[in-house]
Chains A and B, each alone.
Chain A
Amino acid sequence: MLQAPALELRSVRRAYGSGPSATVALDDVRLTVPPGRFVSLIGPSGCGKSTLLRLVAGLERPDRGDVRVHGVTPAKACAAKMIGLVPQTPALLPWMSVLRNVTLPQKINPGAGRRRKEIAASIGRDSAGTAPDMRELLAEARLGDVVHKLPAELSGGMRQRVAIVRAFGLRPDVLVMDEPFSALDEFTRESLQDQLLRLWDELRTTVLFVTHSVSEAVRLSDTVVVMAPNPGRIVESIDVDLPRPRGERLFAERRFHAYEDLVRDRLRRAWHGDAASAGGSRA
Protein backbone atom coordinates (compact mmCIF):
# COMPACT_ATOMS: atom_id res chain seq x y z
CA MET A 1 0.00 0.00 0.00
CA LEU A 2 1.37 3.38 -0.97
CA GLN A 3 1.70 5.62 2.03
CA ALA A 4 0.21 9.09 1.92
CA PRO A 5 2.83 11.82 2.09
CA ALA A 6 3.34 13.32 5.53
CA LEU A 7 2.76 16.76 4.08
CA GLU A 8 1.15 17.77 0.86
CA LEU A 9 0.48 21.33 -0.28
CA ARG A 10 -1.30 21.74 -3.60
CA SER A 11 -1.38 25.18 -5.29
CA VAL A 12 -1.71 26.91 -1.97
CA ARG A 13 -2.38 30.62 -1.95
CA ARG A 14 -2.67 32.81 1.10
CA ALA A 15 -3.14 36.59 1.01
CA TYR A 16 -3.58 39.08 3.81
CA GLY A 17 -5.98 41.95 3.28
CA SER A 18 -8.11 42.30 0.19
CA GLY A 19 -8.22 44.18 -3.09
CA PRO A 20 -5.13 45.72 -4.66
CA SER A 21 -3.54 46.42 -1.26
CA ALA A 22 -3.50 42.73 -0.37
CA THR A 23 -0.12 41.16 0.35
CA VAL A 24 0.24 37.76 -1.16
CA ALA A 25 2.09 35.79 1.48
CA LEU A 26 2.07 32.56 -0.52
CA ASP A 27 1.20 31.92 -4.14
CA ASP A 28 0.88 28.61 -5.94
CA VAL A 29 2.94 26.71 -3.41
CA ARG A 30 3.34 23.00 -4.03
CA LEU A 31 5.26 20.84 -1.64
CA THR A 32 5.28 17.14 -0.93
CA VAL A 33 7.16 15.68 2.01
CA PRO A 34 7.40 11.91 2.53
CA PRO A 35 7.13 10.64 6.11
CA GLY A 36 10.22 10.86 8.29
CA ARG A 37 12.01 13.58 6.42
CA PHE A 38 13.59 16.63 7.97
CA VAL A 39 12.69 19.60 5.78
CA SER A 40 13.87 23.16 6.33
CA LEU A 41 12.24 26.26 4.92
CA ILE A 42 14.68 29.07 4.31
CA GLY A 43 14.30 32.45 2.69
CA PRO A 44 14.39 36.18 3.28
CA SER A 45 11.82 37.93 5.44
CA GLY A 46 8.41 38.14 3.84
CA CYS A 47 8.79 35.00 1.76
CA GLY A 48 5.91 33.35 3.58
CA LYS A 49 7.79 30.60 5.37
CA SER A 50 6.08 31.30 8.67
CA THR A 51 2.73 31.50 6.90
CA LEU A 52 3.38 28.10 5.35
CA LEU A 53 4.19 26.72 8.77
CA ARG A 54 1.01 28.16 10.27
CA LEU A 55 -1.02 26.61 7.45
CA VAL A 56 0.48 23.20 8.16
CA ALA A 57 -0.06 23.62 11.92
CA GLY A 58 -3.72 24.40 11.32
CA LEU A 59 -3.43 27.91 12.75
CA GLU A 60 -4.52 29.44 9.43
CA ARG A 61 -6.40 28.25 6.38
CA PRO A 62 -5.35 28.72 2.77
CA ASP A 63 -7.43 31.01 0.54
CA ARG A 64 -6.98 28.62 -2.32
CA GLY A 65 -5.46 25.17 -2.71
CA ASP A 66 -5.21 22.33 -0.30
CA VAL A 67 -3.07 21.35 2.68
CA ARG A 68 -2.93 17.74 3.82
CA VAL A 69 -1.16 16.14 6.76
CA HIS A 70 -1.00 12.38 6.30
CA GLY A 71 -4.00 12.67 4.02
CA VAL A 72 -6.22 14.67 6.38
CA THR A 73 -6.75 18.39 6.85
CA PRO A 74 -4.57 20.17 9.41
CA ALA A 75 -7.66 20.78 11.55
CA LYS A 76 -8.30 17.05 11.76
CA ALA A 77 -4.63 16.38 12.36
CA CYS A 78 -4.70 18.85 15.27
CA ALA A 79 -7.83 17.25 16.69
CA ALA A 80 -5.92 13.95 16.67
CA LYS A 81 -2.82 15.61 18.20
CA MET A 82 -0.68 14.55 15.25
CA ILE A 83 1.11 17.90 15.11
CA GLY A 84 3.69 19.25 17.53
CA LEU A 85 4.60 22.92 17.47
CA VAL A 86 7.80 24.52 18.72
CA PRO A 87 7.42 28.29 18.45
CA GLN A 88 10.16 30.90 18.36
CA THR A 89 9.83 31.58 22.08
CA PRO A 90 9.62 28.62 24.46
CA ALA A 91 6.00 29.49 25.39
CA LEU A 92 6.15 27.63 28.69
CA LEU A 93 3.69 28.18 31.51
CA PRO A 94 5.63 30.14 34.14
CA TRP A 95 3.80 28.73 37.18
CA MET A 96 4.44 25.10 36.27
CA SER A 97 7.56 23.06 36.84
CA VAL A 98 9.43 21.77 33.82
CA LEU A 99 7.91 18.33 34.30
CA ARG A 100 4.36 19.62 34.53
CA ASN A 101 4.94 21.85 31.52
CA VAL A 102 5.85 18.89 29.36
CA THR A 103 3.17 16.56 30.74
CA LEU A 104 0.25 18.98 30.45
CA PRO A 105 -0.17 18.32 26.70
CA GLN A 106 -0.88 14.66 27.44
CA LYS A 107 -3.87 15.68 29.54
CA ILE A 108 -5.19 18.13 26.96
CA ASN A 109 -7.75 16.91 24.43
CA PRO A 110 -8.06 13.34 25.74
CA GLY A 111 -10.22 12.25 22.81
CA ALA A 112 -7.32 12.71 20.41
CA GLY A 113 -5.88 9.22 20.88
CA ARG A 114 -8.93 7.50 19.43
CA ARG A 115 -9.14 9.91 16.48
CA ARG A 116 -5.47 9.38 15.83
CA LYS A 117 -5.85 5.61 15.70
CA GLU A 118 -8.72 5.98 13.26
CA ILE A 119 -6.68 8.22 10.98
CA ALA A 120 -3.67 5.93 11.23
CA ALA A 121 -5.82 2.93 10.33
CA SER A 122 -7.42 4.68 7.38
CA ILE A 123 -4.07 5.60 5.83
CA GLY A 124 -2.41 2.29 6.65
CA ARG A 125 0.17 3.66 9.03
CA ASP A 126 1.30 2.40 12.39
CA SER A 127 -0.26 4.55 15.02
CA ALA A 128 2.16 6.07 17.46
CA GLY A 129 2.58 3.99 20.59
CA THR A 130 1.77 4.90 24.14
CA ALA A 131 2.68 8.21 25.68
CA PRO A 132 6.41 8.32 26.44
CA ASP A 133 7.87 8.66 29.91
CA MET A 134 8.47 12.39 30.07
CA ARG A 135 11.10 12.12 32.81
CA GLU A 136 13.12 9.88 30.55
CA LEU A 137 12.70 12.22 27.61
CA LEU A 138 13.75 15.18 29.77
CA ALA A 139 16.79 13.25 30.94
CA GLU A 140 17.71 12.53 27.32
CA ALA A 141 17.59 16.26 26.63
CA ARG A 142 19.91 16.73 29.63
CA LEU A 143 17.13 18.31 31.65
CA GLY A 144 16.99 15.52 34.24
CA ASP A 145 18.32 17.75 37.03
CA VAL A 146 15.81 20.54 36.54
CA VAL A 147 12.51 18.68 36.22
CA HIS A 148 11.11 20.40 39.30
CA LYS A 149 12.36 23.89 38.50
CA LEU A 150 10.26 26.71 37.17
CA PRO A 151 10.94 28.01 33.65
CA ALA A 152 12.16 31.33 35.06
CA GLU A 153 14.98 29.49 36.80
CA LEU A 154 16.36 28.08 33.54
CA SER A 155 18.59 29.56 30.86
CA GLY A 156 17.15 30.47 27.47
CA GLY A 157 18.64 27.39 25.83
CA MET A 158 17.23 25.08 28.51
CA ARG A 159 13.77 26.60 28.15
CA GLN A 160 13.83 26.02 24.41
CA ARG A 161 14.89 22.43 25.06
CA VAL A 162 11.88 22.03 27.34
CA ALA A 163 9.68 23.33 24.54
CA ILE A 164 11.20 20.77 22.17
CA VAL A 165 10.71 17.94 24.66
CA ARG A 166 7.10 19.05 25.14
CA ALA A 167 6.51 18.76 21.39
CA PHE A 168 8.34 15.42 21.08
CA GLY A 169 6.34 14.12 24.03
CA LEU A 170 3.25 14.07 21.83
CA ARG A 171 5.05 11.67 19.49
CA PRO A 172 3.76 13.89 16.71
CA ASP A 173 3.50 12.67 13.14
CA VAL A 174 4.65 16.10 12.03
CA LEU A 175 6.79 18.43 14.08
CA VAL A 176 6.69 22.08 13.00
CA MET A 177 9.39 24.37 14.34
CA ASP A 178 9.36 28.12 13.79
CA GLU A 179 12.93 29.44 14.09
CA PRO A 180 13.25 27.76 17.46
CA PHE A 181 16.92 28.64 17.92
CA SER A 182 16.95 32.16 16.51
CA ALA A 183 17.01 33.85 19.92
CA LEU A 184 19.99 31.83 21.17
CA ASP A 185 23.71 32.47 20.96
CA GLU A 186 25.66 30.46 18.44
CA PHE A 187 27.26 28.11 20.95
CA THR A 188 23.94 27.16 22.56
CA ARG A 189 22.38 26.90 19.17
CA GLU A 190 24.85 24.28 17.96
CA SER A 191 24.46 22.19 21.06
CA LEU A 192 20.68 22.35 20.70
CA GLN A 193 20.96 21.28 17.07
CA ASP A 194 22.90 18.25 18.31
CA GLN A 195 20.22 17.35 20.80
CA LEU A 196 17.43 17.95 18.35
CA LEU A 197 19.09 15.60 15.87
CA ARG A 198 19.58 12.97 18.58
CA LEU A 199 15.92 13.07 19.60
CA TRP A 200 14.80 13.09 16.00
CA ASP A 201 17.05 10.14 15.24
CA GLU A 202 15.08 8.06 17.72
CA LEU A 203 11.62 9.15 16.74
CA ARG A 204 12.06 9.80 13.04
CA THR A 205 9.07 12.03 12.84
CA THR A 206 8.58 14.36 9.90
CA VAL A 207 9.96 17.81 10.68
CA LEU A 208 9.16 21.13 9.06
CA PHE A 209 11.76 23.58 10.30
CA VAL A 210 11.74 27.29 9.54
CA THR A 211 15.11 28.98 9.82
CA HIS A 212 17.13 32.03 8.77
CA SER A 213 20.43 30.26 9.03
CA VAL A 214 21.93 28.54 6.00
CA SER A 215 24.33 26.36 7.96
CA GLU A 216 21.56 25.31 10.35
CA ALA A 217 19.34 24.32 7.44
CA VAL A 218 22.08 22.32 5.73
CA ARG A 219 23.21 20.61 8.90
CA LEU A 220 19.78 19.50 10.04
CA SER A 221 17.87 18.78 6.87
CA ASP A 222 17.28 16.08 4.33
CA THR A 223 15.76 18.75 2.12
CA VAL A 224 16.25 22.51 2.15
CA VAL A 225 13.36 24.38 0.57
CA VAL A 226 14.41 27.83 -0.67
CA MET A 227 11.68 30.44 -0.77
CA ALA A 228 11.42 33.92 -2.30
CA PRO A 229 9.24 36.92 -1.53
CA ASN A 230 6.74 39.03 -3.50
CA PRO A 231 4.75 36.90 -3.80
CA GLY A 232 5.92 34.26 -1.31
CA ARG A 233 6.81 31.13 -3.24
CA ILE A 234 9.08 28.11 -3.33
CA VAL A 235 11.93 28.50 -5.80
CA GLU A 236 13.89 25.33 -5.24
CA SER A 237 14.19 22.25 -3.12
CA ILE A 238 17.71 21.05 -2.50
CA ASP A 239 18.24 17.54 -1.20
CA VAL A 240 21.13 17.41 1.22
CA ASP A 241 22.92 14.15 0.66
CA LEU A 242 25.21 14.07 3.68
CA PRO A 243 25.67 11.07 5.97
CA ARG A 244 24.06 10.98 9.39
CA PRO A 245 24.67 11.32 12.27
CA ARG A 246 25.89 14.80 11.51
CA GLY A 247 28.19 15.71 14.36
CA GLU A 248 30.59 18.57 14.75
CA ARG A 249 33.04 17.06 12.32
CA LEU A 250 30.59 17.86 9.58
CA PHE A 251 31.57 21.51 9.76
CA ALA A 252 35.05 20.62 8.55
CA GLU A 253 33.84 18.76 5.50
CA ARG A 254 34.03 20.29 2.08
CA ARG A 255 30.72 18.79 0.97
CA PHE A 256 28.94 20.53 3.83
CA HIS A 257 30.26 23.88 2.65
CA ALA A 258 29.44 23.08 -0.94
CA TYR A 259 25.81 22.65 0.09
CA GLU A 260 25.95 25.87 2.08
CA ASP A 261 27.27 27.71 -0.97
CA LEU A 262 24.58 26.19 -3.15
CA VAL A 263 21.78 27.27 -0.81
CA ARG A 264 23.31 30.72 -0.45
CA ASP A 265 23.54 31.10 -4.20
CA ARG A 266 19.88 30.12 -4.66
CA LEU A 267 18.86 32.53 -1.91
CA ARG A 268 20.78 35.34 -3.59
CA ARG A 269 19.15 34.61 -6.91
CA ALA A 270 15.74 34.49 -5.28
CA TRP A 271 16.45 37.82 -3.64
CA HIS A 272 17.38 39.43 -6.96
CA GLY A 273 14.33 37.96 -8.57
CA ASP A 274 15.99 36.16 -11.46
CA ALA A 275 14.90 32.74 -10.32
CA ALA A 276 12.90 31.78 -13.34
CA SER A 277 10.62 29.16 -11.94
CA ALA A 278 8.02 30.00 -9.35
CA GLY A 279 7.01 26.92 -7.44
CA GLY A 280 7.88 23.64 -9.07
CA SER A 281 9.42 21.94 -6.11
CA ARG A 282 10.34 18.33 -6.18
CA ALA A 283 10.88 17.57 -2.52
Chain B
Amino acid sequence: MTVADERTPVTPGAEPPTEPPRFGPRRPGSRWAWVRPSVWLPLTVMLAVLSALWQYGARRLPYLLPSLPDVGRSLGANPGYYVHNALVTLGEATAGLAMGFVAAFLLAVLTSELPLVHRAVMPIAVVLNVTPLVAIAPALVVAFGFGPLPKLIITGLICFFPILINTAAGLRSVPLPVLQVYRTMDAGRVELLWHLRIPHALPFLFAALRIVLPLSIIGAVVAEMSAAGSTRGLGTAISVASSMNQLPVVYASIAVLAFMGVLLLLAVSLVERRALHWHDGRQD
Protein backbone atom coordinates (compact mmCIF):
# COMPACT_ATOMS: atom_id res chain seq x y z
CA MET B 1 0.00 0.00 0.00
CA THR B 2 1.38 3.36 -0.94
CA VAL B 3 1.35 6.60 0.92
CA ALA B 4 -0.40 8.36 -1.92
CA ASP B 5 -3.31 5.95 -1.77
CA GLU B 6 -3.85 6.55 1.82
CA ARG B 7 -3.79 10.35 1.70
CA THR B 8 -6.25 10.81 -1.13
CA PRO B 9 -9.32 11.61 0.97
CA VAL B 10 -7.65 14.63 2.51
CA THR B 11 -6.09 16.68 -0.24
CA PRO B 12 -4.00 19.33 1.45
CA GLY B 13 -5.53 22.77 1.27
CA ALA B 14 -8.71 21.50 -0.29
CA GLU B 15 -11.89 23.17 0.88
CA PRO B 16 -13.73 20.98 3.33
CA PRO B 17 -17.18 20.05 2.12
CA THR B 18 -19.65 22.82 2.82
CA GLU B 19 -22.47 20.31 2.81
CA PRO B 20 -21.21 17.11 4.36
CA PRO B 21 -22.38 13.90 2.79
CA ARG B 22 -25.60 12.59 4.12
CA PHE B 23 -28.11 9.91 3.50
CA GLY B 24 -30.75 10.22 0.89
CA PRO B 25 -34.31 10.49 2.04
CA ARG B 26 -35.47 7.21 3.48
CA ARG B 27 -38.34 5.87 1.47
CA PRO B 28 -40.93 3.68 3.09
CA GLY B 29 -40.18 0.03 2.30
CA SER B 30 -36.55 0.65 1.43
CA ARG B 31 -35.65 -1.73 4.23
CA TRP B 32 -36.91 -4.62 2.10
CA ALA B 33 -35.54 -3.34 -1.18
CA TRP B 34 -32.78 -5.96 -1.20
CA VAL B 35 -35.22 -8.81 -1.81
CA ARG B 36 -35.70 -7.57 -5.38
CA PRO B 37 -33.30 -9.27 -7.81
CA SER B 38 -32.58 -5.97 -9.53
CA VAL B 39 -30.91 -4.91 -6.29
CA TRP B 40 -28.83 -7.97 -5.36
CA LEU B 41 -28.29 -9.59 -8.72
CA PRO B 42 -25.68 -7.18 -10.20
CA LEU B 43 -23.42 -7.44 -7.17
CA THR B 44 -23.79 -11.22 -6.98
CA VAL B 45 -22.92 -11.63 -10.64
CA MET B 46 -19.96 -9.29 -10.28
CA LEU B 47 -18.67 -11.24 -7.27
CA ALA B 48 -19.06 -14.52 -9.13
CA VAL B 49 -17.12 -13.17 -12.12
CA LEU B 50 -14.35 -11.81 -9.89
CA SER B 51 -14.05 -15.08 -7.96
CA ALA B 52 -13.85 -17.04 -11.19
CA LEU B 53 -11.08 -14.76 -12.48
CA TRP B 54 -9.28 -15.07 -9.13
CA GLN B 55 -9.50 -18.85 -9.20
CA TYR B 56 -8.21 -18.93 -12.78
CA GLY B 57 -5.27 -16.70 -11.77
CA ALA B 58 -4.60 -18.77 -8.66
CA ARG B 59 -4.38 -21.92 -10.76
CA ARG B 60 -2.01 -20.32 -13.28
CA LEU B 61 0.17 -18.49 -10.73
CA PRO B 62 0.06 -20.48 -7.50
CA TYR B 63 2.99 -18.55 -6.06
CA LEU B 64 1.25 -15.20 -6.41
CA LEU B 65 -2.35 -15.92 -5.47
CA PRO B 66 -3.78 -18.44 -3.06
CA SER B 67 -6.97 -20.16 -4.11
CA LEU B 68 -10.11 -18.89 -2.40
CA PRO B 69 -10.92 -22.24 -0.73
CA ASP B 70 -7.42 -22.19 0.79
CA VAL B 71 -8.04 -18.74 2.19
CA GLY B 72 -11.37 -19.91 3.57
CA ARG B 73 -9.79 -23.00 5.09
CA SER B 74 -7.14 -20.87 6.77
CA LEU B 75 -9.88 -18.71 8.29
CA GLY B 76 -11.94 -21.72 9.32
CA ALA B 77 -9.06 -23.70 10.75
CA ASN B 78 -7.92 -21.03 13.12
CA PRO B 79 -10.62 -18.42 13.72
CA GLY B 80 -9.28 -17.57 17.17
CA TYR B 81 -5.99 -16.44 15.67
CA TYR B 82 -7.69 -13.95 13.37
CA VAL B 83 -10.19 -12.71 15.90
CA HIS B 84 -7.47 -12.15 18.46
CA ASN B 85 -5.21 -10.24 16.06
CA ALA B 86 -8.15 -8.32 14.63
CA LEU B 87 -9.14 -7.17 18.10
CA VAL B 88 -5.57 -6.01 18.77
CA THR B 89 -5.48 -3.99 15.55
CA LEU B 90 -8.99 -2.70 16.12
CA GLY B 91 -8.03 -1.63 19.63
CA GLU B 92 -4.99 0.25 18.38
CA ALA B 93 -6.97 1.89 15.60
CA THR B 94 -9.88 3.03 17.77
CA ALA B 95 -7.72 4.13 20.70
CA GLY B 96 -5.47 6.12 18.36
CA LEU B 97 -8.53 7.56 16.65
CA ALA B 98 -10.02 8.56 19.99
CA MET B 99 -6.81 10.29 21.02
CA GLY B 100 -6.55 12.13 17.70
CA PHE B 101 -10.23 13.01 17.90
CA VAL B 102 -10.08 14.55 21.36
CA ALA B 103 -6.93 16.51 20.56
CA ALA B 104 -8.23 17.74 17.19
CA PHE B 105 -11.65 18.66 18.56
CA LEU B 106 -10.25 20.66 21.45
CA LEU B 107 -7.80 22.40 19.17
CA ALA B 108 -10.54 23.18 16.65
CA VAL B 109 -12.60 24.83 19.41
CA LEU B 110 -9.56 26.82 20.49
CA THR B 111 -8.74 27.94 16.95
CA SER B 112 -12.31 29.00 16.30
CA GLU B 113 -12.45 31.03 19.52
CA LEU B 114 -8.94 32.51 19.52
CA PRO B 115 -7.58 33.85 16.22
CA LEU B 116 -4.12 33.88 17.78
CA VAL B 117 -4.18 30.12 18.26
CA HIS B 118 -5.53 29.73 14.76
CA ARG B 119 -2.57 31.62 13.30
CA ALA B 120 -0.09 29.75 15.46
CA VAL B 121 -1.40 26.25 14.89
CA MET B 122 -2.90 26.01 11.42
CA PRO B 123 0.35 26.30 9.41
CA ILE B 124 1.88 23.53 11.49
CA ALA B 125 -1.21 21.40 11.05
CA VAL B 126 -1.04 21.86 7.28
CA VAL B 127 2.62 20.84 7.19
CA LEU B 128 1.77 17.86 9.35
CA ASN B 129 -0.92 16.97 6.86
CA VAL B 130 1.34 16.97 3.80
CA THR B 131 3.98 14.96 5.64
CA PRO B 132 3.51 11.26 4.88
CA LEU B 133 3.01 10.29 8.50
CA VAL B 134 3.54 6.58 7.93
CA ALA B 135 7.15 7.51 7.15
CA ILE B 136 7.53 8.49 10.79
CA ALA B 137 6.49 5.01 11.92
CA PRO B 138 9.99 3.43 11.91
CA ALA B 139 11.40 6.39 13.83
CA LEU B 140 8.63 6.12 16.41
CA VAL B 141 9.27 2.42 16.79
CA VAL B 142 12.93 3.19 17.45
CA ALA B 143 11.89 5.74 20.05
CA PHE B 144 9.05 3.89 21.77
CA GLY B 145 9.68 0.23 21.11
CA PHE B 146 7.37 -2.54 19.94
CA GLY B 147 4.54 -1.83 22.36
CA PRO B 148 1.24 -0.14 21.52
CA LEU B 149 2.45 3.43 22.02
CA PRO B 150 4.00 4.11 18.57
CA LYS B 151 0.91 2.56 16.97
CA LEU B 152 -1.39 4.87 18.89
CA ILE B 153 0.73 7.90 18.02
CA ILE B 154 0.76 7.12 14.29
CA THR B 155 -2.97 6.44 14.20
CA GLY B 156 -3.73 9.52 16.25
CA LEU B 157 -1.58 11.74 14.04
CA ILE B 158 -3.14 10.42 10.85
CA CYS B 159 -6.65 11.05 12.17
CA PHE B 160 -5.81 14.43 13.63
CA PHE B 161 -5.80 16.68 10.59
CA PRO B 162 -9.07 15.74 8.86
CA ILE B 163 -10.90 16.05 12.16
CA LEU B 164 -9.28 19.39 12.95
CA ILE B 165 -10.09 20.91 9.56
CA ASN B 166 -13.64 19.58 9.40
CA THR B 167 -14.50 20.55 12.95
CA ALA B 168 -13.05 24.03 12.51
CA ALA B 169 -15.14 24.46 9.36
CA GLY B 170 -18.22 23.12 11.15
CA LEU B 171 -17.84 25.47 14.08
CA ARG B 172 -17.75 28.35 11.61
CA SER B 173 -20.76 27.11 9.66
CA VAL B 174 -23.46 28.76 11.79
CA PRO B 175 -25.53 30.90 9.38
CA LEU B 176 -25.10 34.64 9.92
CA PRO B 177 -28.79 35.39 10.67
CA VAL B 178 -28.76 32.78 13.44
CA LEU B 179 -25.65 34.35 14.96
CA GLN B 180 -27.21 37.79 14.69
CA VAL B 181 -30.38 36.70 16.47
CA TYR B 182 -28.38 35.36 19.40
CA ARG B 183 -25.96 38.28 19.39
CA THR B 184 -28.83 40.67 19.97
CA MET B 185 -29.46 38.67 23.14
CA ASP B 186 -25.81 39.16 24.01
CA ALA B 187 -25.23 35.40 24.20
CA GLY B 188 -21.84 34.59 25.71
CA ARG B 189 -19.07 32.72 23.94
CA VAL B 190 -19.70 29.51 25.82
CA GLU B 191 -23.42 29.78 25.11
CA LEU B 192 -22.79 30.34 21.40
CA LEU B 193 -20.36 27.43 21.36
CA TRP B 194 -22.61 25.02 23.19
CA HIS B 195 -25.99 25.93 21.70
CA LEU B 196 -25.00 26.93 18.16
CA ARG B 197 -21.48 26.11 17.06
CA ILE B 198 -20.98 22.55 18.26
CA PRO B 199 -24.38 21.28 17.04
CA HIS B 200 -23.74 22.92 13.68
CA ALA B 201 -20.36 21.17 13.56
CA LEU B 202 -21.84 17.70 14.09
CA PRO B 203 -22.50 16.89 10.42
CA PHE B 204 -18.92 17.95 9.66
CA LEU B 205 -17.65 15.75 12.48
CA PHE B 206 -19.38 12.70 11.07
CA ALA B 207 -18.03 13.47 7.62
CA ALA B 208 -14.56 13.57 9.19
CA LEU B 209 -15.17 10.26 10.96
CA ARG B 210 -16.00 8.57 7.66
CA ILE B 211 -12.69 9.76 6.24
CA VAL B 212 -10.71 8.94 9.33
CA LEU B 213 -11.99 5.45 10.18
CA PRO B 214 -10.27 3.71 7.26
CA LEU B 215 -7.20 5.86 7.89
CA SER B 216 -7.03 4.73 11.50
CA ILE B 217 -6.89 1.06 10.45
CA ILE B 218 -4.21 1.90 7.89
CA GLY B 219 -2.21 3.69 10.57
CA ALA B 220 -2.41 0.75 12.97
CA VAL B 221 -1.47 -1.80 10.30
CA VAL B 222 1.45 0.25 8.99
CA ALA B 223 2.75 0.80 12.50
CA GLU B 224 2.57 -2.92 13.20
CA MET B 225 4.42 -3.69 10.01
CA SER B 226 7.16 -1.16 10.77
CA ALA B 227 7.73 -2.66 14.22
CA ALA B 228 9.57 -5.80 13.20
CA GLY B 229 9.47 -7.15 16.74
CA SER B 230 5.70 -6.88 17.21
CA THR B 231 3.98 -10.09 18.10
CA ARG B 232 0.35 -9.19 17.72
CA GLY B 233 -2.05 -7.55 15.31
CA LEU B 234 -3.13 -8.25 11.76
CA GLY B 235 -0.33 -6.11 10.31
CA THR B 236 2.19 -8.28 12.12
CA ALA B 237 0.34 -11.39 10.99
CA ILE B 238 0.56 -10.26 7.38
CA SER B 239 4.27 -9.44 7.46
CA VAL B 240 5.15 -12.65 9.30
CA ALA B 241 3.03 -14.82 6.98
CA SER B 242 4.34 -13.22 3.82
CA SER B 243 7.92 -13.68 4.94
CA MET B 244 7.09 -17.37 5.33
CA ASN B 245 5.20 -17.51 2.03
CA GLN B 246 1.88 -18.40 3.67
CA LEU B 247 -0.26 -16.66 1.09
CA PRO B 248 -3.63 -17.94 2.38
CA VAL B 249 -2.89 -16.40 5.80
CA VAL B 250 -1.90 -13.09 4.19
CA TYR B 251 -5.11 -12.85 2.21
CA ALA B 252 -7.26 -14.09 5.03
CA SER B 253 -5.84 -11.32 7.23
CA ILE B 254 -6.50 -8.76 4.51
CA ALA B 255 -10.08 -10.00 4.20
CA VAL B 256 -10.55 -9.66 7.96
CA LEU B 257 -9.17 -6.11 7.82
CA ALA B 258 -11.61 -5.19 5.06
CA PHE B 259 -14.49 -6.72 6.99
CA MET B 260 -13.47 -4.73 10.07
CA GLY B 261 -13.46 -1.50 8.08
CA VAL B 262 -16.95 -2.19 6.79
CA LEU B 263 -18.21 -2.87 10.32
CA LEU B 264 -16.73 0.39 11.58
CA LEU B 265 -18.32 2.41 8.79
CA LEU B 266 -21.66 0.76 9.47
CA ALA B 267 -21.37 1.67 13.13
CA VAL B 268 -20.69 5.31 12.27
CA SER B 269 -23.61 5.37 9.86
CA LEU B 270 -25.93 4.06 12.55
CA VAL B 271 -24.82 6.64 15.08
CA GLU B 272 -25.01 9.36 12.45
CA ARG B 273 -28.58 8.47 11.59
CA ARG B 274 -29.54 8.76 15.21
CA ALA B 275 -27.65 11.96 15.93
CA LEU B 276 -28.38 13.78 12.68
CA HIS B 277 -32.00 12.83 12.02
CA TRP B 278 -32.69 16.56 11.71
CA HIS B 279 -30.07 16.93 9.02
CA ASP B 280 -31.98 15.02 6.34
CA GLY B 281 -33.99 17.78 4.76
CA ARG B 282 -32.32 20.88 6.02
CA GLN B 283 -34.28 24.10 6.08
CA ASP B 284 -33.20 27.40 4.52
Chains A and B come from one and the same complex: yes
Residues B187 and A108 in contact, CB atoms below 8 Å apart: yes
Residues A95 and B199 in contact, CB atoms below 8 Å apart: yes
| A150–B278 alpha-carbon span in the complex (Å) | 7
Residues of A within 8 A of B284 (CB): 89-91
Residues of A within 8 A of B28 (CB): none
Residues of A within 8 A of B175 (CB): 89, 91
- Min CB–CB distance B281 → chain A (angstroms): 5
Residues of B within 8 A of A88 (CB): 177
Question: Among the interface residues B187, B279, B280, which one has the most CB atoms of the partner chain A within 10 A?
Answer: B187
Q: Assuming A87-B180, A152-B278, is B185 touching A92 (CB within 8 A)?
A: no
Count, chain B residues at interface, CB 8 A: 23
- Min CB–CB distance B19 → chain A (angstroms): 13
| A58–B191 alpha-carbon span in the complex (Å) | 18
B176-229 residues with Cβ-Cβ distance < 8 A to A are 177-178, 180-188, 191, 195-196, 199
> Does any Cβ of A come within 8 Å of B283's Cβ?
yes
Residues of A within 8 A of B36 (CB): none
Residues B280 and A87 in contact, CB atoms below 8 Å apart: no
| A109–B279 alpha-carbon span in the complex (Å) | 27
Q: Which residue of B lies closest to A94 (CB)?
A: B278
Question: Among the interface residues A89, A108, A167, which one has the most CB atoms of the partner chain B within 10 A?
Answer: A108
Residues of B within 8 A of A57 (CB): 180, 184
Question: Among the interface residues A58, A79, A95, A151, which one has the most CB atoms of the partner chain B within 10 A?
Answer: A95
Residues of A within 8 A of B177 (CB): 87-89, 91
B269-283 vs A, CB cutoff 8 Å, 1 = contact: the mask equals 000000000111111
| A110–B183 alpha-carbon span in the complex (Å) | 14
Residues B186 and A81 in contact, CB atoms below 8 Å apart: yes
- Min CB–CB distance A89 → chain B (angstroms): 5
Residues A108 and B184 in contact, CB atoms below 8 Å apart: no
- Min CB–CB distance A118 → chain B (angstroms): 15
> Does any Cβ of B come within 8 Å of A93's Cβ?
yes
Residues B281 and A152 in contact, CB atoms below 8 Å apart: yes
Residues A94 and B191 in contact, CB atoms below 8 Å apart: no
Residues B185 and A94 in contact, CB atoms below 8 Å apart: no
> Does any Cβ of B come within 8 Å of A48's Cβ?
no
| A90–B175 alpha-carbon span in the complex (Å) | 11
A61-96 vs B, CB cutoff 8 Å, 1 = contact: the mask equals 000000000000001001101011101111111110
Residues of B within 8 A of A85 (CB): 180-181, 184
Q: Which residue of A lies closest to B279 (CB)?
A: A94
Residues of A within 8 A of B181 (CB): 85, 87, 91, 163, 166-167
Residues B188 and A109 in contact, CB atoms below 8 Å apart: yes
| A11–B237 alpha-carbon span in the complex (Å) | 79
Q: Assuming A58-B184, A79-B186, A87-B181, is B191 touching A108 (CB within 8 A)?
A: yes
B159-178 residues with Cβ-Cβ distance < 8 A to A are 175, 177-178
B238-284 residues with Cβ-Cβ distance < 8 A to A are 278-284
- Min CB–CB distance A154 → chain B (angstroms): 8
Q: Which residue of B lies closest to A85 (CB)?
A: B184
Residues A108 and B279 in contact, CB atoms below 8 Å apart: no
Residues B180 and A104 in contact, CB atoms below 8 Å apart: no
- Min CB–CB distance B61 → chain A (angstroms): 55
Residues of A within 8 A of B280 (CB): 152
> Does any Cβ of B come within 8 Å of A105's Cβ?
yes
| A109–B181 alpha-carbon span in the complex (Å) | 13
Please list the residues of chain A having a beta carbon within 8 angstroms of any beta carbon in chain B.
57-59, 75, 78-79, 81, 83-85, 87-95, 104-105, 108-109, 112, 150-152, 159, 163, 166-167, 170, 176
Which 3 pairs between the two chains have the least Cβ-Cβ distance?
A87-B177, A91-B177, A95-B278
26 CB contacts below 8 A, A to B, read: A57-B180, A57-B184, A58-B183, A58-B184, A59-B183, A59-B184, A78-B185, A79-B186, A81-B186, A83-B184, A85-B180, A87-B181, A89-B284, A91-B175, A91-B180, A91-B181, A93-B178, A93-B199, A94-B282, A109-B185, A109-B187, A109-B191, A112-B186, A163-B181, A166-B181, A167-B181
